[in-house]
Amino acid sequence: MRNYYEFLEELIRSKNKEFTATEKKIANFVLAQYKEIPFLSIHDFAERIGVGRASIMRFTKKLGFEGFLSLKKEINTRMMNTLAPMEKFRLSLDHEVSQNTFLNEVGETEVNNINQTLNNYNPKSYKQAVDLISKANIVYTVGYNLSSFLADILSYLLQRIGAKSLSTSIGGRSLVDQLMNLDKKDVVVTISLPPYSTETIDAAKYAKQHGVKVISFTDSYTSPIVSVSDIILLVKTESQIFSNSFSAISVIFYALVYEVAVKNKPRSLEALNERLNKKFN
């Protein structure tokens, strides 16, 4: 989808010859203050630029909308598809919805994330990731901010099936410093979601420079982590709140860990039996 400013600029330019002097004044305000439009009522809008509400209505209809509210909704939709999660969440607070309605919206979003991830995943890349992790001496999982918790979860799951896995942590040493003991028999798994952290990208670059394979979970082939990764696993991370969704990536984690366990069945069974014995003894 086009950037929402580009959408507005193109639409207004196409109708510019039809605008009256007052409507051109409205158009200039819309382009200059486009980020504010979703938060303004038609009364506030009219007051800000000193025009009548009837002029605003005529302006929006010339753009092809039923009224100011329709224009607001269109801008908001386009903004929600191009902004970072925190900005999306701020915008969503402007819309009053019932608890049940929002719960349904969140549920539908998460189901859609999982379905799109499963429908569009690359079987070859997924199989290569399973093979690399199964054969790795040590699996380093790397993430920053929320992604650091996802890195912790993946590392924990791998450890439970007997794999040697270390998760980098935030604070203290940099992510690159925590990879200083990398060996070519190791594998680095990164989680790089918007806004993409330079720390994670630098860690992937460091691994590549030292001949270590890099598997990356990210949301798009245009993500900056792609150029420094050997294997890309795409996950849909659309969210109704201020962070990326982790429902789809969790599904891939669980499937991947299960397949790694099957490929290393003796090791996995030994690790699981050891934990069960500790629990019941």
Q: Look-up: residue for tokens 């399973």?
A: 130
Total domains in the chain come to: 2
**Whole-angstrom Cα distance, residue 200 to residue 75?**
33
Model pLDDT, residue 100 = 54
- Do 168 and 68 share a structural domain? no
Six-digit token pair at 82? Answer: 């191009």
Q: Look-up: residue for tokens 């994670």?
A: 200
Model pLDDT, residue 2 = 46
Listed in order, strand segments (DSSP E) in the chain are: 139-142, 165-167, 187-192, 213-218, 231-234
Which residues of the chain have a pLDDT value below 70?
1-4, 78-102, 171-172, 242, 279-281
pLDDT, tens only, 134-172: 999 999 999 998 899 999 999 999 999 999 999 997 766
pTM of the model: 0.67
Rg (CA), the chain: 25
**Whole-angstrom Cα distance, residue 43 to residue 39?**
12
- Do 131 and 54 share a structural domain? no
- Do 225 and 136 share a structural domain? yes
Cite the DSSP H helix spans in 16-67. Answer: 21-32, 42-49, 53-62
In-domain check, residue 162:
yes
Q: Are the C-beta atoms of residues 112 and 236 closer than 8 Å to each other?
A: yes
Model pLDDT, residue 86 = 59
**Whole-angstrom Cα distance, residue 215 to residue 227?**
11
Model pLDDT, residue 12 = 87
Model pLDDT, residue 279 = 64
Model pLDDT, residue 250 = 96
Six-digit token pair at 264? Answer: 């290393």
In-domain check, residue 20:
yes
Model pLDDT, residue 96 = 53
pLDDT, tens only, 6-49: 777 888 888 888 899 999 999 888 888 877 787 788 888 888 88
Q: Look-up: residue for tokens 């007051």?
A: 47
Query: Residue 262 sits in which domain range?
Result: 113-280
Model pLDDT, residue 51 = 92
Q: Look-up: residue for tokens 């009522």?
A: 41
| Chosen domain end from 41, 61, 82 | 82
Six-digit token pair at 226? Answer: 């792609």
In-domain check, residue 178:
yes
Percent of the chain with pLDDT over 90: 53
- Do 131 and 76 share a structural domain? no
Model pLDDT, residue 1 = 41
The total number of residues shown for the chain amounts to 281
**Whole-angstrom Cα distance, residue 34 to residue 114?**
33
Spatial strand order of the sheet with 139-142 comes to 165-167, 139-142, 187-192, 213-218, 231-234
**Coil, strand or helix: which one is 35?**
coil
Model pLDDT, residue 79 = 63
- Do 235 and 131 share a structural domain? yes
